[in-house]
Structure 1
Amino acid sequence: MRTQFCSNMEKVFQMTTQENEVTETRDQQDSNISTPPRLMCPSSHSLKQQLFRLLLAFGILIWISSTAVMISFISSHRILINHLLAVEESNLQIRDSGKPKTYRGKVTYQHWGRESCSATAELVYKGVMAGGINKFLGGGVNYLCLPEQPSYGFTVPDIQVYMAPIGATVYRGLRNFSTMDHLHGYEAFCSVCLADQNAIFVMPAQSTCPSDWTLEYSGYLMGSRSNRKRTEFICVDVNSEGRDSTRNISSGLSEVFIAETHCDEGTTGGGLPCPPYKNGAELPCAVCTR
């Protein structure tokens, strides 16, 4: 069919050429004898080459477009992709190690009695120790570390009756305790510390920490006096400091006394097992992190 089409087209082209030549002069026909051009019909091989080039160009265009779309997607979702890669890397490490990976965090604690922190911790702020006032039944039972410079909001002038009283904390009952007797009557310092650890606890009745734990500081357990309102027990640094200007003040607003053990007194109960505890012994403590 292709050959017949090409032949017919060639005949038509020749007839058109002959009609045009009749109008020319006889001299021009004699002197300029020309062979009418032949209509070239493309071969099957040429058509295949053109089709191949067209398909190749189309494929390259699709590849360039898809690459541009992928680059745009990656650029707009870079944070999400980085997060997914980090999660996958973490999962690989967990599978490789055979146990969950431990991620280190940070913990804060109050360093009672000192304006500084241990060598392994960072000072957040320092201040003065405060608590509920002894002569009032109400108020808080916990101790606070108030910063050196407060920042007030709305205030009402003068002392109000229906408020929760809070005052400076003073060391008491240390005259017969030679390790810390120089602090009797002093107002207590404090600081808030930030440790690069995951967990923290107070170890009572010991001045050291369990194995694999870091000792932040050691001291003695302290709380309120037996005939005063209850407060929490806190671990006060054995090397505590006090405000010099408040030495031997007569009326402490908030007080701390060293905690001591009471052994089991027969059928009355309420005491600790002795031994191993000793009756009337002051209890040490340690602040531990890991």
Structure 2
Amino acid sequence: MQKPRPCVTAGFAGGSWYAHKGAAVDPLCLPRDPEWGIYKDGTDGAKAYVYGAEYETHMSSDLMKSLLNHDIPCAVCLVRNRSVIKMFPGRKTCYKGWKLEYNGYLMAGYYNSVAGSTYSCVDSNPDALHGGHTNKDGKLFYLVEARCGSLKCPPYVEGRELVCAVCSKK
């Protein structure tokens, strides 16, 4: 079992609505204790928006199936004495000279949604927020699978979900 890393904050994963044309691409880790500046309550249409995130997992494994529509937590953690942190898609382990921080499944937005998305490495034992398991949409995280063609098969396999590893190096 890995030693827990010191986390700066834990909160709620979020981002733009999955189908908005002008959606921001990056997911956010929103704090549980937000602070406010000058504000006006209510929506007036001339803004960008942020929504919570939920898992859109449709996979035969019981763990992934049980996460469908659950809201996603997040954490920002420190990695001491490391100068480079990199996510390696298609790997569960790190290359020689790198230290594994965690591994999991590669996730991104649905391929046919209007909004852009980014690839994220979600821990192989993902958490969900307590009580957040109804379908409210927002920023959606889907498992990423390989598609053969310009992506060479082998070594990749058509339709197989990709793993990922987050590694650090001094």
- Between 1 and 2, higher relative CO (CA 8 Å, sep ≥ 6) is seen in 2
Q: What stretches of structure 1 of length at least 5 have no aligned partner?
A: 1-117, 265-270
What whole-Å deviation, never above 9, does each CA across 1:83-133 have from its counterpart, x for those lacking one? xxxxxxxxxxxxxxxxxxxxxxxxxxxxxxxxxxx6263211110100111
Match of residue 9 from structure 1: none
Aligned mate of 1:223, from 94, 99, 108? 108
State the Cα deviation string for residues 142-165 of structure 1 (Å, max 9, x = none): 101011110010111201201111
1:172 matches 2:56: yes
CA-based RMSD of the aligned residues comes to 1.4
Counterpart of 2:132 in structure 1 is 246
Higher helix share: 1
TM-score (norm. length: structure 1): 0.55
Matches for 1:275-290 after TM superposition, within 5 Å:
275-290=154-169
Aligned length: 166
2-side partners of 1:160 and 1:256: how far apart?
28
1:109-128 to structure 2, matched below 5 A, reads 119=3, 121-128=5-12
Over alpha carbons, which structure has the higher Rg?
1
Secondary structure of 1:226 counterpart: coil
- Where 1:287 maps in the other structure, the secondary structure is strand
Structure 1 SS opposite 2:26: coil
Tell whether the 8 Å contact from 1:220 to 1:285 is kept in structure 2 after alignment.
yes
**Which residue identity does 1:256 align to in structure 2?**
F
**Can you give the 5+ residue segments of structure 2 that lack an aligned partner in the other structure?**
none
- Relative to the length of structure 2, the TM-score reads 0.92
Secondary structure (helix, strand or coil) at the match of 1:245 reads coil
Say if 2:10 and 2:74, in contact at 8 Å, map to a contact too. yes
- Match of residue 158 from structure 1: 42
Structure 1 contact 141–232 (Cα < 8 Å) conserved? yes
Counterpart of 1:185 (choices 31, 54, 69) is 69
User: Would you tell me which structure has more strand in proportion to its own residues?
Assistant: 2
